[in-house]
Homo-oligomer: A and B are copies of this chain.
Amino acid sequence: MSKSASTIRDIARILGISKSTVSRALNNHYDVNSETARKVQELAAQLDYHPNLLAQHLKQQRTNTIGVVIPETVNRFFAKAVGGIQEVANRAGYNVMICQSNETLDLERNNLKTLMASKVDGLLISVSRETDQYDHLQYAIDKEVPLVFFDRIVEELMASQVYSDNYEISFQGTEHLLNQGCKRIAFIAGPQNLYNSRNRLNGYLDALKKHNITISESFIIYTNYQRNDIESYTRALFNLRERPDGIFAINDMAAIEIMHILKKRGLNIPKDVAILGFNNEDTCRFVEPTLSSIDHPAFDMGAAATEILLKQIHRDEITQEKRLIKSRLVIRESSNRIA
């Protein structure tokens, strides 16, 4: 039966006209007789014709599709960012192809390759936590594929980027803890190959410097965003002769888990230890005490990155645009010693 979809060729044959006319009629081309156009469109509807996008894109040399490479959708930040991406892209008539690197460099490479071979019109990328080589990214840039980094940007590469003020907000967060009377603030840092993680660490360090607090290496824990080591480094921290009285953690999950452990040890949050997380997940509002955190507008970052990308695609020139999306310190009970 109609197992195979109908094509402009079918329409042409039935109507006894040429493919070109059909194509023009369907695309509302100016120089086709309105009567012919009507007949074509009618028959197209009747035959349930839909243009084959593969053919169309091959011919047109663009796909109206933007490729997205993110670490993981289970990471709510990226899930939300994808929302912003879709919103803007769809409104502009673009489709979105989402790939996850699962936080690995290997998959990130593969994803990029596939997207490029699929001839996406542009790329939105947030690199994996493993990404410490940039050849694949440089390659895409060399090929002049419009590309915008967002959130997990790579500073060294000549590409547009949408980033948040990790340094400043981390500085501010640390000062907040200091203002609450914390003297010994531990910092749970993320993977140091990520620009964001480095900035966050630097914000913390500089805030301590500004307030003339001696920096103690044993108060800085380098992690991988993974969770299996939380118990052990928390124990290590609290077995020190000088225990921390404040903790700034790289993400809320770590913060919550730490809080959990400390509460079990009989410590009072925030009295004994004030805690500040990162990402402002919904959960922050439901744990006890409620968790202070840093809010990044994920949706907005995705949307902004997409806007810049689309602009770049349409301008057809490679410009480098940098857009800052500001983060926000959300103070709740876990770090509020004063109220």
Q: Contact between B3 and A144 (Cβ–Cβ < 8 Å)?
A: yes
Given the known inter-chain contacts A51-B117, A57-B54, A118-B53, please indicate yes or no for A74 contacting B80, CB distance below 8 A: yes
Residues of B within 8 Å of A235, CB to CB, are: none
Q: Contact between B50 and A113 (Cβ–Cβ < 8 Å)?
A: yes
Q: Which residues of A from 68 to 115 have beta carbons under 8 Å from B?
A: 72-74, 76, 79-80, 82-83, 86, 90, 95-100, 102, 107, 113-114
Interface residues on A, range: 35 or more
Copies of this chain, whole number: 2
Interface centre among A55, A74, A114, A119 (most CB of B within 10 A): A74
A8 to chain B, nearest CB (A): 14
Tell me if A286 counts as interface (CB < 8 A to partner B): yes
Tell me if A32 counts as interface (CB < 8 A to partner B): no
Residue of B nearest to A57 (CB): B54
A23 to chain B, nearest CB (A): 16
Residues of B within 8 Å of A114, CB to CB, are: 53, 95
Residue of B nearest to A139 (CB): B48
Residue of B nearest to A98 (CB): B98
Q: Contact between B74 and A100 (Cβ–Cβ < 8 Å)?
A: no
Which one of B79, B82, B119 lies within 8 Å of A54 (CB-CB)? B119
Which one of B73, B113, B288 lies within 8 Å of A82 (CB-CB)? B73
Residues of B within 8 Å of A253, CB to CB, are: 282
Residue of B nearest to A2 (CB): B143
Q: Can you spell out 28 A-B residue pairs with CB atoms less than 8 angstroms apart? A: A3-B144, A50-B117, A52-B58, A52-B117, A52-B119, A53-B114, A54-B118, A58-B58, A72-B79, A73-B73, A73-B82, A74-B76, A74-B80, A74-B83, A82-B100, A83-B100, A83-B102, A86-B100, A86-B102, A97-B97, A97-B98, A253-B282, A256-B286, A260-B286, A286-B286, A286-B287, A287-B287, A288-B288
Residues of A within 8 A of B (CB): 3, 5, 50-55, 57-58, 63, 72-74, 76, 79-80, 82-83, 86, 90, 95-100, 102, 107, 113-114, 116-119, 143-144, 253, 256-257, 260, 282-283, 286-288
